[in-house]
A and B are shown apart, each in its own frame.
Chain A
Amino acid sequence: MPIIFENVSYTYGQNTPFEHKALDKINLTINDNEITGLIGQTGSGKSTIAQLCNGLYKPDEGRVTVNGIDINADKKKKKENFFRVGLVFQYPEYQLFEDTVEHDIAYGPKNMGLPEDEIKRRVADAAGFVGLDAEALSKSPFDISGGQRRRAAIAGIIAMEPEYLILDEPAAGLDPQGRDDILSKLKKYQREKGISVVIISHSMEDMAKYCDRIIVLCRDGIYKTGTKAEIFEEPKELKSMGLSVPQITKLVYRAGELGVKFDRPIYTVDAAFEDVMKMLDGGDGK
């Protein structure tokens, strides 16, 4: 069962001079068992959507349903939503606080009231997924590197084994290797567990590489929803919203203008590399 937004509006600082309408009658669906990318300019409401998904924010209008249940209907069941829809905030490493990384990852499962051995299993599982070894687990979260801290924080959410995993800019501020590392691990995790993952990002490259479906937000709401082929077929429209197609797609367009034709639309460097190699082998390359 998916997460569905029906005519959802949300306003920050209602009835103050700082009032700001972040979302206006939004409709969207986050499907099961795929990676959804949420992309849009700063201020288009991406993070607001993330916090509406698990009930941290309550919509001013409309409803948010998870598995067919309005998550804001029953106040007593609020906590369950947090465990069902795991949310990793931007720069999650700043939320670490326990004395060891291991205890910090166990914090969520502990709050769920799970038995001790189940917590242990989940911590080990989650740590394994993000690639934290026993040595890192025994250290203080303030003594490990930035990339490791990020992974520890993500593991803290994964350990709750949510049905939906929403990550707000999971790769922001990491070096290119750390970026690929985290995102590919998330993809592997999604494929193995068959859960639904939402990745919020600014990077078209990451969207193209890791997401099955992309939702593009603009200031007035949702601009478009679709597969990467559907999203990237209109580079001009994307550009007018301050977004663009992946660099490699631009390059392939340019190559096409110069007479090097690719058989399929290209969105990732790997695909381009594959095709170029094929062309070279076929002998019609330059």
Chain B
Amino acid sequence: MIRDITLGQYFPGNSPIHKIDARIKIIMTLILIVAVFLASSELSFALLLAVSVTVFLMSRISFKTLAKGLKPIVFILIFTTLFQIFFTRTGKLLFEWHFIRIYSNGIIYAVKMFIRIIVLISTTSVLLSYTTSPIVLTDGIEGLMRPLAKIKVPVHDFALIMSIALRFIPTLLEETEKIMSAQKARGTDFSTGSLMKRARSLLAVFVPLLASAVRHAFELADAMICRGYRGGEGRTKLNRMKMKFSDVVWLFLTGAVLAGVIILNAHPVFTLDAIFGI
């Protein structure tokens, strides 16, 4: 059913991760992404893996949810991992069968790539999509972009467009579901028949949906005007984002992770190469 597609994948909760200021979360995510791409030594990957597992556990998101979120990238994950294993031609030859040759470096690169992708996807989705509601996220983006307003970038308008779009996705999904049910009750068949027939069935959904989207837009515009909306200038917020002490701590911790990755890159204490005896 359409409603099962949780858009933005936000899961309400009360964990320490949920409570971090959205602006800090966005910066944290950016720092972690940089760290993931900078990481090269085994220990820095271990550190990143440990960090993402900690963040995930603290968020109290169920493993099932995370696994569901990782599903779409399974193909890329398998493909890149296999690619690394079979096409790396450096290091010690470990295995040979006809044209297949597996080298030690291939295994190492594959493991690193695997961790890189998993850490990248899981931290960004845990930090941003699962624990931050889309509206708060938009607020955070607006907060971070605020300085750009000084050079005449319409930051507020962009943020408003984004919030409205996000706000209406569930509404339109619900409406789509309702219209589809209503048309099904009139005998529309969405899943069988020729391509033309199916396209025509979809028309029975799109026309009413478009009409309702336009209706919503006009109603919303009227309602906003009635309540005195006149753009971002001089506008105050009901829920002002306040930086807490803990937010600053989070920021420092993330900075420490980045520093840790750089240091561990430069000073490899232990490497996987050693295991393969090179």
Using CB atoms and an 8 Å cutoff, list the residues of chain A in contact with chain B.
12-13, 16-17, 51, 54, 56, 79, 82-83, 86-87, 89, 92, 94-97, 107-108, 111-112, 142, 156-157, 160
Q: Check A95 against B4 for contact (C-beta < 8 Å).
A: no
Give the interface segment out of B20-28, B73-81, B132-140, B206-214.
B206-214
Q: Which residues on B are within 8 Å of A, measured CB to CB?
A: 3-4, 6, 11-12, 175, 178-179, 181-189, 203-204, 207-208, 211-212
Q: How far is the CB of A1 from chain B (nearest CB, A)?
A: 21
* Among B11, B178, B212, contact of A89 (Cβ-Cβ < 8 Å): B178
17 example contacts (A-B, Cβ-Cβ < 8 A) are as follows A16-B4, A17-B12, A82-B184, A82-B187, A86-B185, A87-B185, A89-B182, A92-B182, A94-B179, A94-B212, A95-B179, A95-B183, A96-B208, A97-B208, A107-B204, A156-B186, A160-B186
> CA of A142 to CA of B215 in the docked complex: distance in angstroms?
12
* Residue ID in chain A nearest B183 by CB atoms: A95
Among B175, B187, B207, the most chain A Cβ lie within 10 Å of the Cβ of B187
Q: A112 to B211, alpha carbons, bound, how many Å?
A: 26
Question: Which chain B residue lies CB-closest to A14?
Answer: B4
Shortest B61–chain A CB gap in Å is 11
Query: How far, in angstroms, from A92 to B185 measured CA to CA in the complex?
Result: 11
By a CB distance below 8 angstroms, the chain A residues around B3 are 12-13
How would you classify the secondary structure of chain B's contact residues: helix, strand, loop or mixed?
Answer: helix
* Shortest beta-carbon distance from B71 to chain A in Å: 16
Question: Quick check: A16 and B184 within 8 Å, CB to CB?
Answer: no
Which single residue of chain B is at the shortest CB-CB distance from A92?
B182
Q: Indicate if the CB atoms of B186 and A16 lie closer than 8 Å.
A: no
Q: Which residue of A has the minimal Cβ distance to B215? A: A94
Residues of B within 8 A of A89 (CB): 178, 181-182, 185
Docked CA distance A70–B102 (Å) = 59
A94: which B residues are within 8 A, CB to CB? 175, 179, 208, 211-212
Complex Cα distance, B187 from A217, in Å, reads: 29
Q: B204 to chain A: which residues have CB within 8 Å? A: 95, 97, 107
Contacts of A16 in B (CB 8 A): 4, 6
Q: Closest residue to B205 on the A side, CB-wise?
A: A97
Give the top 7 A-B pairs by smallest Cβ distance, nearest first: A111-B187, A97-B207, A95-B182, A108-B186, A87-B185, A89-B182, A97-B208
Known contacts A56-B184, A82-B186, A97-B203; 4 additional CB pairs below 8 A are A82-B187, A94-B179, A94-B212, A111-B187
Query: In whole angstroms, what is the CA distance A162 to B237 when docked?
Result: 54
Task: Provide the bound-state CA to CA distance between A17 and B9, in Å.
Answer: 11
- Chain A residue numbers with a CB within 8 Å of B182 are 89, 92, 95
Residue of A nearest to B188 (CB): A111
Q: Contacts A82-B186, A108-B186, A156-B186 hold; do A56 and B207 have CB atoms under 8 A apart?
A: no
Q: How far is the CB of A49 from chain B (nearest CB, A)?
A: 14
Query: How far does the Cβ of B161 sit from chain A's closest Cβ, in whole Å?
Result: 25
In the complex, how many angstroms separate the beta carbon of B129 from the nearest chain A beta carbon? Answer: 14
Give chain A nearest CB distance to B210 CB in angstroms: 9
Residues of A within 8 A of B189 (CB): 79, 111
CB distance from B266 to the nearest CB of A (A): 44
Q: A13-B4, A97-B204 are in contact. Are A83 and B179 (CB under 8 A)?
A: no
A96 to B181, CA, bound (A): 13
Bound form: Cα–Cα A247–B204 in Å? 41
Q: Which has the most chain A C-beta neighbours within 10 Å: B11, B179, B184, B211? A: B184
* Closest residue of B by beta carbon distance from A113: B187
How far does the alpha carbon of A176 sit from the alpha carbon of B257 in the complex, in Å?
Answer: 68
Distance of A94 Cα from B21 Cα, bound (Å): 41
For A57, give the chain B residue with the smallest CB separation: B181
A17–B178 Cα distance when bound, in Å, is 22
Minimum C-beta distance from B8 to chain A (A): 14
Q: Which residues from chain A contact B183 at a C-beta distance below 8 Å?
A: 95
Q: How far is the CB of A122 from chain B (nearest CB, A)?
A: 13
- CB A3 to nearest CB in B, in angstroms, measures 15
B211 touches A142 (CB 8 A): yes
Chain A residues lying within 8 Å of B175, measured Cβ to Cβ, are 94
CB distance from A75 to the nearest CB of B (A): 11
Check A111/B186 contact, CB under 8 A, given A13-B4, A94-B179, A95-B179: yes
- Asked whether, in the complex, the Cβ of A79 is within 8 Å of the Cβ of B212, the reply is no
Q: In the complex, what residues of A have CB within 8 A of residue B12's CB?
A: 17
Residues of chain B with a CB closer than 8 A to A17's CB: 11-12
Q: Please give me the residue from chain A that is nearest to B175 by CB atom.
A: A94
Min Cβ gap A64→B in Å is 15
Tell which of B178, B179, B185 touches A54, judged by Cβ atoms closer than 8 Å: B185
Nearest-neighbour CB distance to chain A for B5, whole angstroms, equals 11
Q: For B184, list chain A residues within 8 Å (CB).
A: 56, 82
Shortest beta-carbon distance from A175 to chain B in Å: 20
CA distance A224 to B204 in the complex (A): 39
A82 touches B11 (CB 8 A): no
Q: B179: which A residues are within 8 A, CB to CB?
A: 94-95
Contact B187 A56 (CB under 8 A): no
Residues of A within 8 A of B11 (CB): 17
A107 contacts across to B, CB distance below 8 A: 186, 204
